[in-house]
Amino acid sequence: MRKDDCIFCKIANGEIPSKTLYQDENFRVILDLGPATRGHALILPKAHYANLYELPEDTAAAAMKLAKRMAGTMTEKLHADGLNLVQNNGETAGQTVMHFHLHLIPRYKDDGQHILWKPNTVSEEELEEIQKQITE
Ligand code: AMP
Ligand code: ZN
C-alpha cells in the first residue's frame, strides 16, 4: 500500500520529517511547505492512492471526517475568518503530487488569495444535456 518513489508516502509514514499537526493509524496532517496562507495544511492517507478516483470510499469518508475536525481546531486556534477545502485530481486540475491529499487552507480577511473560479454562462439546453450525460 506504499509506493517507493512517492514523497507523500515517505512523509505520511514518518520517513521524511514534517511539521505534523495530527496523526493516527491511517492519516497524517502536515503543514504545507508552499503555503497559500498561514497554517495551510495537508491531510495525507498513510496508504498510497494517487487520487480521489483510487481512494476507497471508507478512506474518503474518514478523510472528510478528519477535515471537519481539523477545520474547526485550526480556524479557532489560528483565529482564521474561514477555511477552504481544496482537493486536486490530475495535472489538468492542478495536482502536482500524485498521492491523494486534501488541502486545508485557513482564510483571513484581506489575505490576498483567490481560490475561486471565473463563472461562465450556460443555457437551459446545455444544463439538460450535461445532466443526461452524467445520470444516464
Ligand atoms: P497539489 O498541487 O494539490 O498536488 O498540492 C501539492 C502541495 O504539496 C503543494 O501545496 C505543495 O506546496 C505541497 N508540498 C510539496 N512537497 C511538499 C513537502 N515535501 N512537504 C510539504 N508540502 C509539500
Ligand atoms: Zn504515496
- Examine the pLDDT at 102 and tell me if it is beyond 90: yes
pLDDT score for 8: 98
Q: Which ligand is closest in space to the CA of residue 90?
A: 1
116 pLDDT higher than 90: no
pLDDT band of 1, cuts 50, 70, 90: confident
Average pLDDT over every residue of 99-120 = 95
Task: Report, as residue numbers or ranges, the catalytic residues.
Answer: 101
Using an 8 Å Cβ cutoff, are 38 and 104 in contact? Answer: no
d(CA 30, CA 52): 19
The size of the chain, in residues, is: 136
Task: Report how far apart, in Å, the C-alpha atoms of 119 and of each of 47, 112, 116, 122, 123 are.
Answer: 36, 19, 9, 10, 13
Is 17 near ligand 1, meaning CB less than 6 Å away?
no
User: pLDDT value at position 78?
Assistant: 98
What is the DSSP pairing of strand 20-23 with strand 41-45?
Answer: unpaired
CA-CA distance, 132 to 23, in Å (whole number)? 42
All three cell numbers of 91, joined, read 495535472
Using a pLDDT cut of 70, give the percent of the chain over it: 100
For atom 3 of ligand 1, the residue with the nearest CA is: 95
pLDDT single digits (tens) 2-50? 889 999 999 999 999 999 999 999 999 999 999 999 999 999 999 999 9
Residue-wise over 16-41: b if at least 16 C-beta within 10 A, else e? eebeebebeeebbbbebeeebbebbb
CB neighbours of residue 67 within 10 Å: 20
